[in-house]
Chain A
Amino acid sequence: MTDEAFTPGLTAGGGGAAALRATEYDNPVAGVFDDVEQVPGAAKPDPILVADGVVKTFGGLTAVDVAHLEIQRGAITALIGPNGAGKTTFFNLLTGFDRPDRGSVSLEGEDISRVAPHRLARRGMVRTFQLTKALSRMTVVDNMKLGATGQRGESIWRSLLGPLWSAQESEVGERAEELLDRFNMSHMADEFAGTLSGGQRKLIEMARALMTDPKLVMLDEPMAGVNPALTQSLLGHVKGLRAEGRSVIFVEHDMDVVRDISDWVVVMAEGQIIAEGTPDSIGKNQAVVDAYLGQHHDQDLSVESPAGGSSDEVGESDG
């Protein structure tokens, strides 16, 4: 798909929502949310991830206090909220990078609140980071190969005997090349990841995450700092994940993006979930508007103003 993403000449000017090719992938979960009540903590037909009473405090300050949250399997769920709402902290708690003071998180019915992050990755839950973590002094293809789980050559003893892992290594290499191809990065394969642009780093991070063959992909601000053309390419890839049957949770600020690709939106403010609903309805929710206004946030809920623009008109978010 979108080969032109890397070709500067074909960059769609402005990056308006209209340019998105929403129809390229089918939506396997279309209609699933029709019967779901649009309130915080709403029960979903088939949740893959459930958080219950998750609380985290830092020096007396409650960063996260989520009573109940269910994430629907196979859908794209957006997690939004003003700055300092605790989205990233919540992400860290869900992915094992931080431990909650109280409460539990379960993945497909199994409690994972005490499970180390690397084990979660092996269980099919993978995440990316807000500040992209390209492994600078490794090549792009090495970045990709790293993502594969269950590599025999990753054991300290077996690694010494090449024949034990070389066959698997070439398999991993093939998969890496396929994915790079899909993400239009084949031509960069042997470059150091540190030489990539910000957007390319986001792409490689997502591609690398897919090497783990995850059931649930958690993207922390996948579009932050990415130019509009690449944003669309990234959006396409996210929808591609859903089409493959993977579940996606992502943190995002840009309401255009949220409205375009998400099936369900969860809004956090001051560590709590204040609203849940479909992307169309969420902008009309008074609690959401109040939260964004009350924070004097510098993010963009309105359709018209481009990202990063004046934020004094925040309250005019519509649906």
Chain B
Amino acid sequence: MKRQLPLVLVFVFGIFMIIQYFVPHESSEWIYEFFLDWIYIIGIFALALGIWSLIRVSYDKIKYRRPNWQYAVITLAGLFFMIWYGFDYGRHFFSAEGLRNYMFVSFFEYILIPIQATMFSLLAFFIASAAYRAFRARSALATLLLLAALIIMLRFNPYLGSVGNYMEEMAIWLLNVPNLAAKRAIIIGVGLGIVATSLKVILGIERAYLGRD
């Protein structure tokens, strides 16, 4: 019951969803949409696990005065204010009014976006130092990597003049020909990997998702 039933469920639903893909009937499409709705709803309920975990970790940090506990107050305040405004001060739970709430929109535009965009832009510095280490031309393959990256990076450089046009043409060729071949090989490999792993899950060979007893 504790381990066997979940394995049976995975097998039955897995095989059923594979078969329905090959049934050219509108009822098959309806079943597909119906079950996708189901897993979408279950997935959203699972989000509550993550939120509860965040609250509990932050609360414990504050309660036991762990190092840097003050920041946990900021995390909780951000979470609760966002939810409070998202439900339009607790007035509209079942209508999308909260999404248009002035404070909710402002928190998104002036807190979330600037911080996230700046965090990603910080990577420009770290990726540059990583590039220095990765691109040192120590072998023919590293030189190839360096040249490809340099051509891509320099293609929009306005100071290169007519050389820049040639560089741009070369960059487009690099992206559309050898890069495409490499990407295709990786995509095919990833696709085969996903199919193999999915089959392992359906057949009960891969059981890590069940956790321990």
Whether chains A and B associate is: no
A residues whose Cβ falls under 8 Å from a Cβ of B: none
